[in-house]
Structure 1
Amino acid sequence: MAVYSMTGYASAQRGVATAGDDKDGPVRRLGLEIRAVNSRFLDLSFRLSDELRAQEPALRALLTQRLKRGKVEVRAFVDNDDSAALAEPSPRILQRVGAVQDAVRSWLPDARPLSVADALRLCANAGAPALDWSETAARAAEQALDDLVAARQREGERLAAMLQERIAQLRELARQAVPLVPQLVEQQRQRFMERWKEAMSLAEGAVVPEAAQDRALTEATAFAIRIDVAEEVTRLQSHLDEIARLLKKGGEVGKRLDFLIQELHREANTLGSKSAAMDLTRISVDMKVLIEQMREQVQNIE
């Protein structure tokens, strides 16, 4: 199963002849656009022209079946083609429009007279037969949804590839961190031994050599426990394994990935807080940069 992004755009158009089977008659076009961005949940909003408001429940049900997360805006409108807009109205319709204008102005003398464009629009609406847009709107929505899902899948594949690259880089940083701890422990043990030897020489035999050496080894052991990052590295590797598994599985994995990214960030922070050398500090910083890049992209995954 593929990984899907939550961002995408798609549009579709459908034309409907208003003069029955007359192919040369006026055509009305339905245009539909779908825009989607990331969101924690599925958030649908509709901006429909007056003729299409009745189609909102059907459109909402269709989108809910296909989309699981994202802030999705649907815009749909109905327009006439140029031939319909410039069609010569019949005298009967013009007479009706003129009579309605006279009636309105008899009550509202300050009302603005109709322009030619106003009259053509009113005549077109008065002469146009009532159309059922349900089937046309459904077909346009299905086409736009197919294109949107395909676009989100392509973007999801790019996101998954980027995440896989970051996983490989994090694994390499973890591999570099593992051998640093024993080296630091040995260096610190040598420092403790040297300091205690200096202290013994200054004390002129007041401190028993065996006790001083035991104390130095104890301090070195405590230091080793404090800077040991084996547990953090193990957990980090485990989280990376799970992220790779989810990317391979696909589907609705965005929320689980977001949680795992938080856990990765926590382990990188802990590793940095235990750092006793510049090399470990650099590795921790590099890890956090990569994890932040992953977090930004994971927020776009459905």
Structure 2
Amino acid sequence: MTGFARAERQAGSLRVRIELKSVNGRGLDMRLRLAPGLDAVEIPLRQMLSKALSRGSVNLVATLDRSGASGSVRVNETTLAAVLAALDDLGRRFEAAPPRLDGILALPGVLEVDDRAGGIDEDERSALILDCAAEAIERLKVARLQEGALIAPVLFDQLDTIAVLVGRAETHPSRGREVIQARLREQLAALGDDTGLPPDRLAQEALLLATKADIREELDRLRAHIAAARKLIAEGGPAGRRLDFLAQEFNREANTLCSKANAVDLTAIGLDLKAVIDQLREQVQNIE
């Protein structure tokens, strides 16, 4: 989700520049910094961003260059009067230093720029800004796709590592009923059990322990998650949210495997799984 893009447009004496910067984010967080007098394009710009992007913290900066323009700046007397009245009311209620003139003039709507003298009216200016923003957004999408192309091999490697660990867990000898039965005998002997547990009862107890320690379902679900994640990455397109969900499911199955493990080596495999899954989750945060 990381990327940077810039686009410029010019009409008459007016030059528009749009800069976009995107960093990782769980959802889509848009922050716009617009030049004075561009309030009318804020909602359309937000709509364009939300339609083109699904995740990331996105900053948009729109600037205007009127160098050489014959446009004029005027004070909106109605807005200024309302601001001064509000300041006067606050001044009577609270003790505070009076506001500076530059601070008052910087408030939205107090100063208005008239570009018509420069050969462009407000509608044309808005269209120019939105056209420029559309180009910048497309460039940002390309930059983010390039980052995703670099991350995809890393994700595939991590999924391959998870698949190897799942295979090791499946073939681990501690899962066999005979091994569990032998361990049960050792535990009874260590407790000083000399009552001579009947073989059929010993087999029943071993079967019960084997059932409780069975991780077949967890391994099957892990394999299913691996296949789903590989398919999402291969298909391309926005997949970050779904991969994030799969990473959570990976972690859930790894936790259950660790809790069911009846051997130190099997627990170690589960911990290795959790470590790789955490790395996968970190990378997934970089994907739209």
Query: When the two structures are superposed, what TM-score results if normalisation uses the length of structure 1?
Result: 0.70
Q: Which residue is 2:224 aligned to?
A: 238
| Distance of aligned partners of 1:35 and 1:195 in 2 relative to their CA distance in 1, 3 Å threshold | closer
User: What is aligned with 2:94?
Assistant: none
The residue identity in structure 2 corresponding to 1:292 is D
Structure with larger Rg: 1
Matches of 1:254 and 1:126 in 2, distance apart? 43
TM-superposed CA distance for 1:143, in Å, is 1.9
Which residue is equivalent to 1:21?
Answer: none
Structure 1 unpaired stretches of 5+? 1-5, 19-27, 88-92, 94-110, 113-124
Contact 2:12 2:118 in 1 (8 A): no
What residue ranges of structure 2 are gaps of 5+ in the alignment? 73-99, 102-113
Residue 164 of structure 1 corresponds to: 156
Change (3 A) 1:258 1:194: closer
Q: Sequence identity of aligned pairs in percent?
A: 37
Structure number with the bigger relative contact order (C-alpha 8 A, sep ≥ 6) is: 1
Indicate whether 1:290 and 2:282 are aligned.
no
Partner residue in 2 for 1:90: none
Distance in 2, matches of 1:37 and 1:297, equals 13
CA 282–53 in structure 1, closer or farther in 2 if over 3 Å, else same: same
The residue number in structure 1 matching 2:252 is: 266
Q: CA RMSD for the aligned pairs?
A: 3.2
One-letter amino acid of the structure 2 residue matched with residue 225 of structure 1: T
Q: Secondary structure of 1:75's match?
A: strand
The residue correspondences of 1:1-302 to structure 2 (distance < 5 A) are 6-18=1-13, 28-81=14-67, 84=68, 129=118, 131=120, 132-182=124-174, 185-193=177-185, 203=194, 207=195, 212-302=198-288
Q: How far did residue 183 of structure 1 move? A: 5.9
Query: Cα distance, 1:176 vs. partner?
Result: 0.7
2:174/2:263 contact within 8 Å kept: no
Q: Structure 1 stretch 54-63 or stretch 292-301: which is displaced more?
A: 54-63
Q: Would you say the 8 A contact 2:5–2:21 is kept in 1?
A: yes
2:154 counterpart letter in structure 1: M
Residues 175 and 214, structure 2, Cα contact 8 Å, conserved in 1 = no
> 1:212/1:50 Cα in 2 relative to 1: closer, same or farther (>3 Å)?
same
Q: Does the C-alpha gap of structure 1 residues 56 and 188 become closer, same or farther in structure 2, counting only changes over 3 Å? A: closer
Aligned-partner residue type, residue 8 of structure 1? G
Q: Following the alignment from structure 2 to structure 1, what is the Cα–Cα distance between the partners of residues 248 and 132?
A: 40
